[in-house]
Amino acid sequence: MPHHREVDTINRRSGIAFAFLTPNLLGFMVFTFLPVLAALGLSLYRWDLFHAPSFVGLRNFVELLGWYQEDGQIHANDPGFWKYLGNTLFLMMGIPVNMAAALFIALVLNQKIRGRVFFRTVFFLPTICTGVGVMLLWMWIYNPEFGLLNHLLSLVGVEGPSWLRSYAWAKPSIMIMGLWGAMGGTNMIIYLAGLQGIPPELYEAADIDGASSAAKFWYVTLPALTPTTFFIFITSVIGGFQGGFDAAYVMTRGGPDGATTTISYYIFEHAFQWFNMGYAATIAVVLFALVLLVTLVNWKFGGKRVQYV
Amino acid sequence: MFELSVPLRRRLAHGTSYVFLIVVGITMVAPLLWMLSTSLKSAQEDVLDPAQWLPAALNWSNYVEVWVEIDFARALLNSVLVTVAVTVGQVFTSSLAAFAFARLKFFGRDKIFLGYLATLMVPGAVTMIPVFILLRELHWINTYYALIIPAMFSAYGTFLLRQFFLSIPTELEEAAVLDGCSTFGIYRNVILPLSKPALSALAILTFMGSWRSFMWPLIVTHYQEMYTLPVALTAFQEMHTVQWTLLMAGSVIMILPMLVVFIVGQRFFIEGIRLGAVKG
């Protein structure tokens, strides 16, 4: 048994530690941890904020994910959800394009050339400016009558589409804006750091073997970058599932005809426009499950596929 | 077939690289310049010739008009107040907790830290609804409390700083303890001064995130007096969708502080991205 004084010291130390921890831990409990539990609970209720909540068990989940059969055809209980999930996945197809562009820029910038820092700064500008300001700018660029884009297209004799107002072009418009905003940004910086971390001996060995530039890229650079690529891909996918709210709200209000409504925008509509708090929480819980799934896949397979140098 | 000499080949490759970099650079910058140019055009000019890059005359009056029209001064004040409070709060609470996790021993430390890590992957949409309901019960909707307090605590910031604190050698602290330095003294006089790069990185990332934050202010503010810049701009756009000169002037004002912070703190910003990416 320890002496009393020792126990006192340990308790005192714990006390000091918790004094440091408390502000953050309190905020963390109240604004993150308990709300997660509350969201799980809320998904079992129907509640419009103004009347008493009523317990509905798993009926929200059946309403969201279930289907019924009519005239030999299968109909979703909530066709909107599947459509908006599809929209979200469609927008996520921009991720690989974005990553390829980021890698390419990083490769060019990783050479011994003058003005690297200058170009890096310039390429980062769109990422810095991201937000409502840039979205308004792109609404103006995409303006069918007076916008810059259709004007430039008309110079080469092409009649541009009506971009954000067109059902077919609304999603690609948002993806193009996303590509412009991100390809020289965070992912490029991470790739650049990854490239600088590749041991030069690997290239020296490849040189001795007489490898061409292309061979060095495929057999040295790309494998060595696998952990980086995997990290960027997973974080992008997790972000992608949750994304699209700001652009949908500011630029299109989720339209035309739901073409740009993503899961997060659908949650917002249910919670803060139609006051279906329980149903909104249900969609959020399903979104959480999707993100969790990606994270688990990451843990399970990430370690094996990744090539460490 | 002829072989190019090595220096010539290298110069050609560099030439191609420069052409590529310049083309990408123009693509990145041109829309931003167009925004600036539109913000200085007169209201008639902006719809005449979109590709006229230089306004006939510099209409600074757009900036005055946008300032008056949407109560811009108030929105700017709200944004500055909220961003500064959130940034200071987050760096302060995160650094205290990160110090406890990195340097102190206490009951359940690793389990609590694991809990922090686990919530990093929880989508904001999950916590948003219960937090909104809580704030509504507290009558905090349409107050600065709602804009500031929930954003003051960050598991990510705690994680980022803990990683950095762990990389600081402990010898200095041991010397400080021998000199009779208190635990808070170690935090204040040893760890914080040595962590300026990481603290700056977190501060810049938080500033950027808070300044452009849109969804949360949109949800918790319903009166114009409480709008932050992004919400005020969006509301303005809904009412005056054709006044692009004014909208672009407002956008320029919104973007300018982020550009300034980036240019001043670029080194720390890039460092922050790298710190965040190491978690793997």
What's residue B72's pLDDT? 84
Q: Which residues of B touch A108 (CB under 8 A)?
A: 17, 20-21
Among all residues of chain A, which has the CA nearest to that of B94?
A24
Instruction: List pLDDT tens digits, range B66-84.
Output: 888 778 889 999 999 999 9
Q: What is the distance between the alpha carbons of residues A99 and B105, in angstroms, rounded to a whole number? A: 41
Instruction: List pLDDT tens digits, range B7-28.
Output: 777 777 778 888 999 999 999 9
Residues with Cβ within 8 Å of residue B50, at least 6 apart in sequence: A146, A147, A148, A151
Count CB atoms within 10 A of the CB of residue B159. 21
- Mean pLDDT on A218-230: 90
- Mean pLDDT on A76-100: 95
Instruction: List pLDDT tens digits, range A147-161.
Output: 888 888 888 888 888
What's residue A248's pLDDT? 95
Among all residues of chain B, which has the CA nearest to that of A152?
B51
Q: Which of A32, A184, A264 sits opposite B127 (nearest CB)?
A: A32
Q: Structural domain boundaries of chain B?
A: 6-61, 70-277
What's residue B280's pLDDT? 35
Residues with Cβ within 8 Å of residue B209, at least 6 apart in sequence: none
pLDDT at A221 over 70: yes
The answer to whether the beta carbons of residues B254 and B233 sit under 8 Å apart is yes
The pLDDT confidence band at residue A309, using thresholds 50, 70 and 90, is very low
Whether residues A190 and B233 touch (CB distance < 8 A) is answered with: no
Q: What is the distance between the alpha carbons of residues B111 and B121, in angstroms, rounded to a whole number? A: 17
The pLDDT confidence band at residue B45, using thresholds 50, 70 and 90, is low
Whether residues A145 and B47 touch (CB distance < 8 A) is answered with: yes
Q: Which of B273, B278, B279 to mutate to test the interface with A (most CBs of A within 10 A)?
A: B273
Query: Angle at Cα A184 formed by Cα A181 and Cα A185, nearest 5°?
Result: 75
Q: Which of B32, B215, B237 sits opposite A129 (nearest CB)?
A: B32
Q: Which of A31, A113, A231 sits opposite B153 (nearest CB)?
A: A31
**3-class DSSP assignment, residue A132:** helix
pLDDT at A1 over 70: no
Instruction: List pLDDT tens digits, range A89-128.
Output: 999 999 999 999 999 999 999 888 888 889 998 999 999 9
Whether residues B126 and A285 touch (CB distance < 8 A) is answered with: yes
Chain mean pLDDT for chain B:
86
Which phi-psi region, left, alpha or beta, contains residue B83 (left: φ > 0; alpha: ψ -120 to 50)?
alpha
Higher-confidence residue: A60 or B4? Answer: A60
- Mean pLDDT on A24-53: 92
Instruction: List pLDDT tens digits, range A251-261.
Output: 999 989 999 99
Q: What is the distance between the alpha carbons of residues B202 and B208, in angstroms, rounded to a whole number? A: 10
The answer to whether the beta carbons of residues B211 and B82 sit under 8 Å apart is no
pLDDT at B268 over 60: yes
The answer to whether the beta carbons of residues B242 and B77 sit under 8 Å apart is no
pLDDT at A11 over 50: yes
Residues with Cβ within 8 Å of residue A103, at least 6 apart in sequence: A188, A191, A225, A229
Flag whether residue B145 sits within 8 Å of chain A, measured between CB atoms.
no
Whether residues A180 and B27 touch (CB distance < 8 A) is answered with: yes
Residue A70's beta-bridge partner residues? A73
Instruction: List pLDDT tens digits, range B117-167.
Output: 888 888 999 999 999 999 999 999 999 999 999 999 888 899 889 988 988
pLDDT at B279 over 60: no
Instruction: List pLDDT tens digits, range A236-247.
Output: 999 999 989 999
* Residue whose token pair is 């937000």: A131
Overall residue count recorded for chain B in this entry: 280
Q: Which residues of B touch A283 (CB under 8 A)?
A: 125
Q: What is the dotted CATH code of the domain comprising B70-277?
A: 1.10.3720.10
Instruction: List pLDDT tens digits, range A190-219.
Output: 999 889 888 888 888 888 888 888 888 999
DSSP B182: -
Q: Which residues of A touch B128 (CB under 8 A)?
A: 267, 271, 284
The pLDDT confidence band at residue A22, using thresholds 50, 70 and 90, is confident
What's residue A138's pLDDT? 94
Q: How far apart are the first and last CA of chain A?
A: 49
Q: Which residues of B touch A130 (CB under 8 A)?
A: 212
Q: Burial letters for B55-87: b for 16+ Cβ neighbours within 10 Å, e otherwise?
A: beeebeebbebbbeebbbeebbebbeebbebbb
Q: Structural domain boundaries of chain A?
A: 4-60, 80-305
Whether residues B233 and A136 touch (CB distance < 8 A) is answered with: yes
Among all residues of chain A, which has the CA nearest to that of B39?
A137
The pLDDT confidence band at residue A296, using thresholds 50, 70 and 90, is confident
Task: Provide the token pair at B51.
Answer: 């590709």
CATH of A80-305, one of 3.30.1330.60, 3.40.190.10, 1.10.3720.10, 3.30.70.1430: 1.10.3720.10
- If we measure between CA atoms, which residue out of B214, B249, B257 comes closest to residue B68? B249
| Interface confidence (ipTM) of the complex | 0.87
Residues with Cβ within 8 Å of residue A35, at least 6 apart in sequence: B126, B127, B129, B130, B131, B134
One DSSP character per residue, A76-127 reads: ES-HHHHHHHHHHHHHHTHHHHHHHHHHHHHHHHTSS-TTHHHHHHHHHHHH
Q: How far apart are the first and last CA of chain B?
A: 48
Q: What is the distance between the alpha carbons of residues A144 and A163, in angstroms, rounded to a whole number? A: 7
Question: Within 13 Å and on the Cβ side, how many CA atoms surround B103?
Answer: 28
What's residue A10's pLDDT? 62
Q: Which residues of B touch A13 (CB under 8 A)?
A: 104-106
What's residue B47's pLDDT? 60
Interface of B with A in 14-33 (CB under 8 A): 14, 17-18, 20-21, 24-25, 27-29, 31-32
- Mean pLDDT on A162-188: 93
Instruction: List pLDDT tens digits, range A24-37.
Output: 989 999 998 999 99
Count CB atoms within 10 A of the CB of residue A31. 20
Among all residues of chain A, which has the CA nearest to that of B122?
A288
What's residue A9's pLDDT? 63
How many A×B Cβ pairs under 8 Å?
A: 259
